[in-house]
């Protein structure tokens, strides 16, 4: 399987490289690449009253991008604040199962909660959200185990409590999906 990480809008390349390194540990048998270019944040996704971006619009863009580049999964990383109808915000969103996953750095930064910048904490949060959304693309739902990376994050406290890897049950599911995918022709 081929995973591609792409920035959506203005995101530092060091963030993507860090995510790539961490994902290599979680998905050792997957080919992981970072796209050299950034995708633009689609203007039509902006709700100017909310000052937030409609996540499904960006997700659509990511799916088209994945199809065009013939990769199995694409993880978009954005800096803008995301929402979906019915929720005041989301840390990320993904097709489940599907090709496109998206995370936002906006509410993962300590500064958002009035704290001082904390690079290490931020990196851990990004990793958890990235693994979580990619887990959805592999068909995993939310897990009851509050320490499993597939546990739903209602707030940053949930994200901080959970680990960056799958519980035994979820890991088993990921393993079987990735093994099934191994027979696919190379793209």
Question: Of 39 and 150, which has the nearer Cβ to Zn ion?
Answer: 150
DSSP for residue 168: H
Question: Of 114 and 168, which has the nearer Cβ to Zn ion?
Answer: 168
C-alpha to C-alpha distance for 25 and 73, rounded to whole angstroms: 17
Nearest distance from C-beta of residue 163 to Zn ion, angstroms: 10
Residue from 101, 105, 167, 174 in contact with Zn ion (CB under 5 A): 167
Nearest distance from C-beta of residue 169 to Zn ion, angstroms: 5
Each residue 99-138 as x (binds Zn ion by CB under 5 A) or -, in order, gives ----------------------------------------
In angstroms, the first-to-last Cα distance of the chain is: 9
Overall size of the chain counted in residues: 187
Q: What is the dihedral of CA 161, 138, 70, 102, to 10 degrees?
A: -30
Residues identified as active-site? 133
Instruction: Quickly list H helices, 2-94.
Output: 13-26, 55-69
Q: Under the criterion CB under 5 A, does residue 143 sit at the interface with Zn ion?
A: yes
Site residues, Zn ion (CB under 5 A) = 143, 145, 148, 150, 167, 170
């Amino acid at each position: 399987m081929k995973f591609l990480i792409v920035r959506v809008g203005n995101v530092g390349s060091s963030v993507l490289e860090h995510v790539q390194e961490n994902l290599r540990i979680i998905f050792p048998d997957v080919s992981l690449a970072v796209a050299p270019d950034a995708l633009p944040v689609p203007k039509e996704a902006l709700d100017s009253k909310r000052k937030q971006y409609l996540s499904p619009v960006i997700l659509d863009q990511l799916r088209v991008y994945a199809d065009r580049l013939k990769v199995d999964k694409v993880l978009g990383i954005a800096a803008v604040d995301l929402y979906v109808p019915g929720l005041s915000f989301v840390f990320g969103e993904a097709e489940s199962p599907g090709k496109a996953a998206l995370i936002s750095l906006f509410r993962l930064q300590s500064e958002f909660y009035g704290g001082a910048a904390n690079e290490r904490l931020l990196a851990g949060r990004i990793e958890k959200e990235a693994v979580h959304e990619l887990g959805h693309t592999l068909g995993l739902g939310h897990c009851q185990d509050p320490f499993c990376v597939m546990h739903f994050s209602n707030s940053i406290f949930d994200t901080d409590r959970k680990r960056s890897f799958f519980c035994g049950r979820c890991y088993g599911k990921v393993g079987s999906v990735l093994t099934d995918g191994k027979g696919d022709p190379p793209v």
